[in-house]
Amino acid sequence: MTRHETIRGARTRLRPVSARDLDDLAAWRNRHRACFVDSSPVTAEGQAAWHASHRGRDDDLMYVIETLEGRPVGCVALYHLDRAAGTAEFGRLMIGSTEDQHRGYAEDACRALLLVLEKGRAGEIYNIGAHHEMSNLELTHAILGHFNKGAEMIRYVTDRLGHDLRYAVNFNKLKKLGFKTRWSFAKGLAATAKWYRENPEWWKSLKHDKYTVKS
């Protein structure tokens, strides 16, 4: 693993930290600074100084966790990296984007990173996926079923024709390393729907913002 490698997971990818991430990193750290031993606020200057010193190190790799669409949601690091011994410490994991907490991004990022570290070949690209491929419409009906809603809730849009024909990844190389999915689609969707029913404070505000389609 090198400083410039990007690791792709089922719903996230780990991208090496760059200067464009410094504002997000500082904001996330300050938002959750009560969780840190050093809880003092991080300044823009301090974050820039950290990045300048960090870029020259080869034993400390910091990654931004982002969605497959490229939206940053958190960070994670490998440090005390000893390539000769094949060892490293894993930590500094933080889902800094409040709206993206409790969605499984952290677990997916951890599993992707650890699997590549333990069994992957240097320079190789590994997709992490599952066996349950379905269309967007099939997924939509499955979600509605968990909330006792019907097809009348579906709104078809015309600005993405041809963009969403298929979402799938070939993860045959990963299966050869022994990868097996832990959750079935049905179990995962049921758990996700249950969490949203039990935690309305996380999504109710979205019903009033200017970006969400109102029912």
What's the pLDDT tens digit per position in 179-196?
Answer: 767 677 788 888 888 888
Give the per-residue pLDDT at 3.
53
Integer angstrom CA distances of residue 113 from 92, 108, 182: 13, 9, 16
The 10 Å CB-count burial string (b at 16+, else e) for 16-37 is bbeeebbebbbebbeeeeeeee
Give the per-residue pLDDT at 145.
93
What digits encode the pLDDT tens for the residues 125-177? 777 666 677 777 888 999 999 999 999 988 887 776 666 666 677 778 877 87
Cβ-in-10-Å burial (0-12, 13-18, 19+) of 148 comes to exposed
What number of other Cβ atoms are within 10 A of residue 128's Cβ? 21
What's the rounded Cα separation, in Å, for the pair 51 and 148?
49
Per-domain residue ranges for the chain? 7-119, 136-208
Residue 194 CB-half CA count within 13 A: 6
**7-119 has which CATH code?**
3.40.630.30
- pTM above the 0.95 mark? no
Give the per-residue pLDDT at 160.
65
Between these two residues, 106 and 58, which has the higher pLDDT value?
A: 58
